[in-house]
Amino acid sequence: MSAKYRLLNNVYFLGGFATIGGMLFGFDISSMSGVVGTQRYQEYFNHPSSSLQGGIVASMAAGSFLGALLAGPLGDKISRKRTIMLAASIWIVGSIIQCATVNVGMLIVGRIINGIAVGLASMIVPVYQSEIAPKNIRGRIVSLQQWAITWGILIQYFIQYGCSFINSEAAFRIPWGVQIIPGIILLAGISFFPYSPRWLADHGRGEEALEVLAMLRAKGNKNDPLVMAEYKEIEDAIKFDRTQAARSYAELFRKPNARRVFLGMSLQSWSQLTGMNVAMYYIVFIFQGAGITGQNANLQASSIQYILNVIMTIPAILFIDKWGRRPVLLVGSTFMALWMFLIGGLMGRFGGPSNFEGNETTTWAIQDNDAASKAVIACSYLFVCSFAISWGPVSWTYPAEIYPLRIRSKAVSLSTASNWAFNFILAYAVPPLLENIQYKTYFIFGAFCVAMTIHVFFMFPETKGHTLEEMDELFNSDVPAWKTRAQPQSRLDRK
C-alpha cells in the first residue's frame, strides 16, 4: 500500500486535514484582534467608534450565520466533501477583498464573504469528521476542529504581531492576504478525499459506501465483521428513515427530534455566551483594562493567551473519549464562571475611569496596582485554559453526533447558525458594553456560565461510547440526563 493510499484512508489524517476549515475561523479571529489596537489600523479607518468597531468584527459572524444555514441543505445535496471545497473557494475570494480594502465598507464586505465560508466550514467539517470516525475515537477526531481553530488564532496572531512593526498599510494588508494560503491548501487537498460513507449510502451508492468504510476501518477488507456490522447498521437506519415523512426543516421541530435540535442549538449558543470568542476578538481592550499599556507589551501578553489556548486543547483531544462529554462540560463552565467573576471583581475593586488616546472602547482600567493587574491577567489565562479543555472541543463534538442521518446536516446547520447568531450579537455588543458598563460586563458572562452549568446537568445525556446510529435509543429513553452514563459496549462490540 502506497504512502498516499495510506494517508487518504487514515481517519486521523482525513479528520485532521479537514480541520483547515476550522483554522479559517481562527485566522479570521486573529485577523482583527491583532490590529484593532494598532496605530496603523486606527488611523487608516479614521479611529472607528466602539459601535462601528463592533460592526466590523460582527460582520464576519453575520456572514457565518448565513453560511451555516446554507451548509445544511448543501451538505445533503452536493455532499459534505464538496461543501468544504465550496467553503475554501469562497474564503479565497473574501480574503482577496479584505487584502485590497480601501475603506470600512469594503472591509465589511470582505469579512461577510469570509464569514459565509467560515459558516459553511464550521458546520460541515464536524459532520464529515463524525461520519468517517469510529465511535471510540469520534470525540478525538471532531475535537481536532477546535484545535485547528486555536492554531489558526495563534499563527495569524504572530503574523499580525510581526507585521505590526511595519510602518505602512502593509501592517494589516499582509496578514489579511496571507489568509488566502490555507484556503488554497484546503481546496486542493480535500478534492482527493473520500466522500462520507453515510452520505454515499443515503444517496443510493451503497457499494461505494461499503468500499470507503472498509478502507477506513479494515484496510479495504469488505468482509471484515466489524465493517459489515457497521454498514448493516447504517443501512438499517436509512431504511427506517425512508419510512418516515419527507425530509424538511419542519421535521426538526417535531417529536422526537425537537429535543435534540434544541440541545444542539443551546450548546452552541452557550459556547458563545461563555465570552471566549469575545476574549479572542477584543483581547487588546481587555488587557488595556487590566492596566497593560504600550502596544508591544499588550501584544506579547495576548500571545501568551493564544499559546495557552493551543496547549490546553490537547488534553481534551487525547481524553475526551475517556472522560465523556458531560463531566468535561460541567467542570469547564464551573471554572469559567469563577474566573469571570474574579476578573469583574478585581477590575471593579481596583480599577477606575480611564481614557486611551484613539480608543473609545476602554473607559475603565486598573492603574498603579501591579498585583491587581497581574491577577486579572492570570484569571484571563485560566479562563482560556478552562474553555480550551472543555467547551471548546465538546461544543463541536456533541451537536455533530446526536442527530439521526436523515436530519443531521440540517440540524447541525441550525446548531452552528445559533453559534454564529450569538457570535454576531456579542461581537457587536461587547465594545459598547466595555465602554458603558466596564467591568460589570464580566459579571454578565459569569452569570451565563452558571446558567449553562445548570442546563447541562439537567438536560444533556452522556453520548460517549454510542455509535451515531444508537443515538435514537439513547435520546428516546426515559432515563434522566443526570443518570446517563458512558456506554461501555455498543451493539457493534457485541456482534
Q: What is the pLDDT averaged over residues 348-376?
A: 75
pLDDT in tens, 188-233: 999 999 999 999 999 999 999 999 999 998 888 899 998 999 999 9
CA distance 358 to 104: 17
Average pLDDT value for residue range 97-119: 92
Set of cell numbers at residue 71: 451548509
Domains and CATH numbers, the chain: 3-193+254-494 (1.20.1250.20)
Mean pLDDT score, 277-299: 65
Output the average pLDDT for the chain. Answer: 85
Q: Is 358 left (phi over 0), alpha (psi -120 to 50) or beta?
A: left
Strand duo 351-353 + 364-366: pairing: antiparallel
Q: Which of 45-54, 131-140, 178-187, 289-298 has the lowest mean pLDDT?
A: 289-298
4, pLDDT greater than 60: no
Residue 180 pLDDT exceeds 50: yes
Please name the residue ranges forming H helices in 133-256: 138-163, 170-178, 180-190, 197-202, 206-218, 225-241
Mean pLDDT over 419-442 rounds to 82
**Nearest CA-CA partner of 130 in 452, 415, 469, 431:** 469
Q: Is the pLDDT of residue 424 over 90?
A: no
Beta bridge partners of 364: 353
Query: Is 80 exceeded by the pLDDT of residue 452?
Result: yes
* Max avg pLDDT among 233-247, 270-284, 293-307, 408-422: 408-422
pLDDT surpassing 80 at residue 398: yes
Please give the model's pTM, rounded to 2 decimal places: 0.83
Amino acid at 298: N
What is the mean predicted confidence (pLDDT) over 44-68? 84
Residue 156 predicted with pLDDT over 90: no
> Would you state the pLDDT for residue 62?
87
Q: Residue 292 corresponds to which cell in the numbers above?
A: 497593560
Q: How confident is the model at residue 291 (pLDDT cuts 50, 70, 90)?
A: low
Task: Report pLDDT for 2.
Answer: 45
State percent of the chain over pLDDT 90. 41
The confidence score (pLDDT) of residue 485 equals 77
CB 364 within 8 A of CB 438: yes
Confidence of residue 490 (pLDDT cuts 50, 70, 90): low
Convert 105-139 to b/e letters by CB count within 10 Å (16 or more is b): eebbbbbbbbbbbbbbbbbbbbbbbbbbbebebbb
Please tell me the predicted confidence (pLDDT) of residue 167.
Answer: 82
